[in-house]
Amino acid sequence: MPETTPKRSGRRRRPRHLLVHAVLLTGGLVMAFPFAWQLLMSLATNAEIQSVPPQPIPSRLHVENYAAVFDRLPFLHQFGVSVFITVVRTAGQLVLCSMAGYAFARMRFPLRGVLFGLLLAILMIPSQAYIIPQYGIVQAWGLLETPWAIVLPGMFSAFGTFLMRQQFLSLPVELEEAARLDGCNPFQTFWRVMLPLASPGLFAVGITTVLYSWNDLLWPLIVTTRETSMPLSVGIATLQGQHTTDYAVLMAASVMAMAPIFLLFLAMQRRVIEGLATSGLKG
């Protein structure tokens, strides 16, 4: 009888779960395989990478592939550009979106609904429809080949403002009234009272922006052509030779380009997944 009653309280292992584990483990390994293979190949020689049949385990660990990355690429430059664009864009968005989101959630002013509607309309338009004029602007301002060209358009986010508005709408009004009675001006109320309470929203906007800035390809590819002005997401492509490719070095560079994001997300695992889930479900 216990086999047929679908009671869920028991801690016993049931045969049904064995099948589930088999499926999930297979699927999970398919998901993880590219990372594992890239790591292994980053420690192999080119001959081992191209061997038939495949040779998964390198004869010895060719750590020198990682050192070679610094000779083939201005890796530190590109790493610096990636860090700069990620930090500036994320910080800029957090400040601008939380301020605007707060005003849209809590202040009354003429045209509030119209302006918010116009802002949301941006979300329905694909970014390609902005790119040519945006290129014209950063070119006219003399910013091509600088990290500012990569950062500027992305600092103003309709999506981030929308998320922050939702966040502020969910907070109690009474706190603001108390702050106002205590003599805070609107900025002090926002900065000292409301913003600290909005940290889940800030976190959701922050991680989405970090991930997007670090990995973004099309826009940085367009506004940078010199190897020293590129972020890593563009720079790695310059290692793909047209006729011969040093696969081992390419794999090592790829591992190094992805490592910072993986370490960051490993450090904040739980909150990241919650944050992404909120940003997704509210969007």
Partner 1 sequence: MARRRGPHRAGAWPWVFIGPLLAGVAVFYYYPIVSNAWTSLTQSGAFGTNQRFVGLDNYAGLVDRGDLGTAVLNTLGYTLIVLLGVPLSVMVAAMIELPGLRFAPLYRALFFMPYLAMPMAIAQVFRLVFNGDFGLVNQGLRALGVNASPYWLTTPGFALVAVALFGLWSSIGFNVIICCAGLKGVPRELYEAASLDGAGPVRQFWAVTVPMLTPSIFFLTVMQTIAGFQLFDALFALMGANNPAMPQTRSLVYLFYQLGFVVNDRGSAAAVAMVILVFVAAVTAVQFWGQRRWVTYA
Q: Which of residues 65-104 bind partner 1 (CB under 8 A)?
A: 96-97, 99-100, 102-104
159 token code pair: 């999506």
Task: Identify the residue among 73, 88, 158, 198 touching partner 1 (CB under 8 A).
Answer: 158
DSSP states along 9-53? ---S--HHHHHHHHHHHHHHHHHHHHHHHHHHHTTS-HHHHT-SS
CA-CA distance, 234 to 268, in Å (whole number)? 26
Contact flags string 189-228 toward partner 1, x per CB under 8 A: xx--------------------x--xx-xx--xx------
Task: Identify the residue among 128, 183, 196, 244 touching partner 1 (CB under 8 A).
Answer: 128
Rg, the chain, Cα only: 25
Task: Identify the residue among 75, 159, 203, 247 touching partner 1 (CB under 8 A).
Answer: 247
197 vs 222, beta carbon nearer partner 1: 222
Give φ, ψ of 127 to 5 degrees: -60, -25
Helix (H) or strand (E) holding 147: helix 147-151
Task: Identify the residue among 173, 183, 196, 267 touching partner 1 (CB under 8 A).
Answer: 173
* Contacting range for partner 1; rule: CB under 8 A; set: 58-66, 69-77, 105-113, 143-151: 105-113
Applying CB under 8 A, what is the total number of residues that bind partner 1? 108
41 token code pair: 């190949």
Interface with partner 1, residue 188, by CB under 8 A: no
* Contacting range for partner 1; rule: CB under 8 A; set: 62-70, 73-81, 120-128, 142-150: 120-128
Task: Identify the residue among 143, 144, 197, 258 touching partner 1 (CB under 8 A).
Answer: 258
Identity of residue 154: G
CA-CA distance, 67 to 257, in Å (whole number)? 14
